[in-house]
Amino acid sequence: MSGETLIKPDLQFVERVVAAGGDTVKKCYQCDTCSVVCNLTPDQKPFPRKEMLQTQWGLKEVLNDPDIWLCHQCSDCTVYCPRGAKPGEVLGVLRKMCIEKYATPPVLAKAVGDPKFLPLLIAFPMVLLMLALKLTGHWGIPEGTIVYSHFFPTLLVDFIFVPTFFFAVAVLAKGVMAFWNDINSANPWRVKVEGNLVGNLIATIKDILFHNRFRQCEVTYKRSTNHLFLVFGFIFLLVVTTWGFLNEWVLHHESPYFLLSPIKLLAMAGTASLLYGIWNILKERQANAEKAGYGSYFDWFLIYLIFAVGATGLLSWVFRLVHIPILAYPTYFLHLTAIFMLFFYAPYTKLAHIVYRTVAMLQARMSGRGF
Ligand code: SF4
Ligand code: SF4
């Protein structure tokens, strides 16, 4: 019979959603209030009601639905849902599962999403960095003025962190290309994608950079402002890292830089912005826990990791200024550990949102879904 659709429910998929924190999905009775109150959903084939239904039915193809990435988890829908089904949180769980689906190797994605592997995830970079220090004969606290490159030589830092960065980029690129193919081919929500790819990509990045859509949310509006601080903190620190790299390898300038040098000032502004943003996100999540949900381990892993990067960076600087080597060098070691974790695990953490969301928003823009 033409027009029939064969539905293949996957009960294990439903169990995985429930285990990952989406247990409330079963409460949904399809009233559609969530899609009506959501300020971000397109008029045609709106979310999140359809995703709630697909998840209840065990249709794992929902992970190929780009709409799960158009949601910014503002929780407007969660607040108004008459059944307490928390659609905002369920979509968050689906995004986590989508990241796991496209990540390589999957075992690492599973480990990052599971709290019992946390000690192992921390131990791995620590052992690696200790081994690097031992093997190059730099184990121990150097005498005299605190200079971090005397403890952990810059060449060694580059030798470890440059491949780590490119590993993360390669894993993300592989995942996101597979994701792009899936959302544009065999999914039931396929739409016609056409137009200028580069122009649309620039418009999408601008949209993300200034949080234009995120700022349309109501219940947790402040989250978008805090998120902006975080994003610009990252951008500043990225510029500082690139600047430092060029200074060292192209201009052959020695670090550390003097206190009021432009690179130092930018680093301070970046760290302050990062810490301010993440601190407010932390507070805001706790304050809104009842109406918007407390967030999952997946959310908190990244929040605490970013906090660790900012706090250890700031403390390394302070301990160097007041000259306490016994605290400065171990804190710097922890700072390197946190940065390694941030980069190496990026394709498996919530940080991967940046690329998957960009691709989904690009697809939505190119298919004219209300953008
Ligand atoms: S998630 Fe809640 S608001 Fe949305 S359709 Fe289900 S019951 Fe209604
Ligand atoms: S959490 Fe916000 S953006 Fe996401 S579906 Fe609900 S109302 Fe829409």
* Residues 356, 171 contacting (CB under 8 angstroms): no
In this prediction, residues 123-130 reach a mean pLDDT of 97
Cβ–ligand 2 contact at 65 (below 6 Å): no
| Cα 61–Cα 67–Cα 70 angle in degrees, nearest 5 | 145
Report how far ligand 1's centroid is from the alpha carbon of 323 (Å).
58
* Residues 282, 303 contacting (CB under 8 angstroms): yes
In this prediction, residues 213-231 reach a mean pLDDT of 82
Atom of ligand 2 nearest to the CA of 76: 7
Dihedral of CA atoms 88, 93, 99, 103 in degrees, nearest 10, equals 180
Report how far ligand 1's centroid is from the alpha carbon of 370 (Å).
22
The answer, yes or no, to whether residue 190 has pLDDT greater than 80, is no
The answer, yes or no, to whether residue 184 has pLDDT greater than 50, is yes
Task: Give me the residue label for tokens 């480990």.
Answer: 111
| CA nearest ligand 2 atom 2, residue | 74
How many beta carbons lie within 10 A of that of residue 224, not counting itself? 18
Q: How many whole angstroms separate alpha carbon 230 and alpha carbon 224?
A: 10
- The predicted model scores a pTM of 0.85
Quote the distance between the C-alpha of residue 293 and its chain's center: 18
Atom of ligand 2 nearest to the CA of 47: 5
| CA nearest ligand 1 atom 4, residue | 34
Cβ within 8 Å of residue 357, ≥6 positions away: 69, 208
| Cα 18–Cα 42–Cα 26 angle in degrees, nearest 5 | 20
Instruction: Show the tokens assigned to 12.
Output: 């294990």
Report how far ligand 2's centroid is from the alpha carbon of 39 (Å).
7
pLDDT tens per residue across span 163-179: 999 999 999 999 999 99
pLDDT tens per residue across span 324-367: 999 999 999 999 999 999 999 999 999 999 999 999 999 888 88
Report how far ligand 1's centroid is from the alpha carbon of 6 (Å).
25
Cβ–ligand 2 contact at 48 (below 6 Å): yes
Q: How many whole angstroms separate alpha carbon 342 and alpha carbon 22?
A: 26
Give the type of residue at 210.
F
Return the closest-CA partner of residue 281 out of 237, 236, 224.
224
- pLDDT score recorded for residue 255: 66
| Cα 130–Cα 134–Cα 137 angle in degrees, nearest 5 | 140
Q: How many whole angstroms separate alpha carbon 305 and alpha carbon 354?
A: 16
Atom of ligand 1 nearest to the CA of 80: 3
- List, as one string, the DSSP characters of 325-367: HHHHHHHHHHHHHHHHHHHHTGGGSGGGHHHHHHHHHHHHHHT
How many beta carbons lie within 10 A of that of residue 81, not counting itself? 23
Output the CA torsion sign for 271, 276, 279, 280. Answer: negative
Quote the distance between the C-alpha of residue 3 and its chain's center: 40
The answer, yes or no, to whether residue 257 has pLDDT greater than 90, is no
Q: How many whole angstroms separate alpha carbon 273 and alpha carbon 239?
A: 14
Cβ–ligand 2 contact at 68 (below 6 Å): no
Q: How confident is the model at residue 368 (pLDDT cuts 50, 70, 90)?
A: confident
* Residues 209, 203 contacting (CB under 8 angstroms): no
- pLDDT score recorded for residue 212: 85
Ligand nearest to the CA of 218: 2
Instruction: Show the tokens assigned to 100.
Output: 């796991």
- pLDDT score recorded for residue 43: 87
pLDDT tens per residue across span 18-63: 998 899 999 999 999 999 999 999 888 899 999 999 999 999 999 9
Cβ–ligand 2 contact at 76 (below 6 Å): yes
Return the closest-CA partner of residue 35 out of 25, 26, 24, 47.
47
- pLDDT score recorded for residue 1: 46
